Structure 1
């Protein structure tokens, strides 16, 4: 099968959607399919051989974060050429309502098209405003996928119709086989908690975790907090108590090779995210690496952790609740051992060996059910009258 995959987000900055797109492409190629990915990327940005750049992206505030997107007539022309040259059996567009490459692909596409919705936005003025404008493009969809129940509700609330839920995937064995790094590994006297995310993005929750640190340090004086991710470390730690700053080890952005090793080294992985999450792929990655997970009680996180059966929760944006749960976990090795075993078993349900075949089944349904437009119908293209 010849498969075209479109991502709206730039490969210049790591992110969950592009990780999903890249892993899906690799999994499909491993099964013998021909795959081409179209996404924004700056000149000189290293990308896999199967990725075609749609041009340079610009930062745009979106869903409580800052995304790097590209849009306009020049980009639209590139999108159209990529579609025409690809000869794809099916095109898989991610986040089709984002004003970037994905939306332009929806304008230009002819043939079977599948869309995946990643975002959870139950209240969105933008979606309400754009709904009518996007409807002709959305009518082209042969099938819709949502990565979670939260993302599915965004579709049903704002766009009409429904979507089949297929979760994000993880190459579980890449994480399960990771070797801890001694300098990151905790000891009974000096345990480690790991955080991974964009450190200056409030919704990733690092400020909540930092506010919980004083109590944790009073109870466990040797505690170390390993903070990994892009951003300004000085800004993140500004105004924090001296003992909290001393306990934090700011690692910066970690490589793809070191990410599993960081997770495998932690006594606890903490996800203090405050909102805007429709799934929680990092939780699956942490469980795959054998890290007991402590996460805020967002609906998406509760579903990934099976309502607390394979991980621990604290009240969202509540530092005292976070501290109490973390202290309890760090003092209970038996519980952490159980969570490691149960978490790995749960993670295997999200392995790409399972998820890819579910997506392929959607592709096959979309291709089989596609009805070409009536003869003489003119499809809308960017810039057309």
Structure 2
């Protein structure tokens, strides 16, 4: 997708919106509209550190020669438009998102970070890629129905935005908040546009060594149904139930409770408890129970967290490929959700605003997992991961809204790749109106 194509698409969408709303009151539609463009410069380097198997990916077209690293650098443009609603019993509105990714540097033997779209035949990173999506929306009272391009952030399906461009879906989504404290969600997704793709494809499920899931080879799905309810009992406690079903793959029930206990001025203890039950649907053997708990003590700008996660059943955790799973130990590289895996996490955050430096944040964490069932006659798998994030967003002056983030990760595994990884992200958000 070229810049000119992206611009033409946005213009045509705006024209189409004006033509489909004749005679309607446009005051709120226009007055409540907002638009902005995010410029995202993304560099990522991933070093494969293991000496022996399991092996890192092979270099496309190199006769099985293994790569020692994956490295990409690209510039992204994300244009977002969100309208208000027309007046009347049923308000009408439209949202739109246009994305464009441009390759700055990527070698044939070192691409494959998920930052750039790859050519299906040659395996080379394409010079540019992108997408354009429109969402029609209808509002009645405190309920909104959206049809078109969606980026849900729900326990059953979490749109991923950890690379150059965000992941999106096609489908319908109803969100209702008619009763105070109660939020209802229901919908269906049919296609996914992955973060490194401009194609709208049928959905698949995350797999891999150690997950123990069978029956997924060559299978895709064009139907993911979801529904959920969240209730805020008071300012401290929120509970929720969510259901998701990826046709031909799995069915899933998720329970979640979040409680924040005030402990005095500038102090609190947050408890986040999660349980998921996943079973097969169609040809797979999915059978998983996932228990997770994260406890975070906050004192002024400091946060200290301890987490525990346990998998049980015949397989590991199931979720749509490329999405963010609703797991307390899902982090930069791993999800610690393999068959029978038990894992724990220790985390520390500091917000420098507490000492007079707003915009500067720091995070570090360490996770360790073991007891992974790799099959009969094979020793149980183990893995660990360490993450560090440092980020700064300029608060004022000529560089206001300019953000710089460095993400570092190291992971070691007895059944997967050993990786050292660095991501440097420079972003700037420019409001248009």
Higher share of residues assigned strand: 2
Higher share of residues assigned helix: 1
Fold similarity call, TM over 0.5: no
- TM-score in terms of structure 2 length: 0.22
- TM-score in terms of structure 1 length: 0.24
Larger Cα-atom Rg: 2
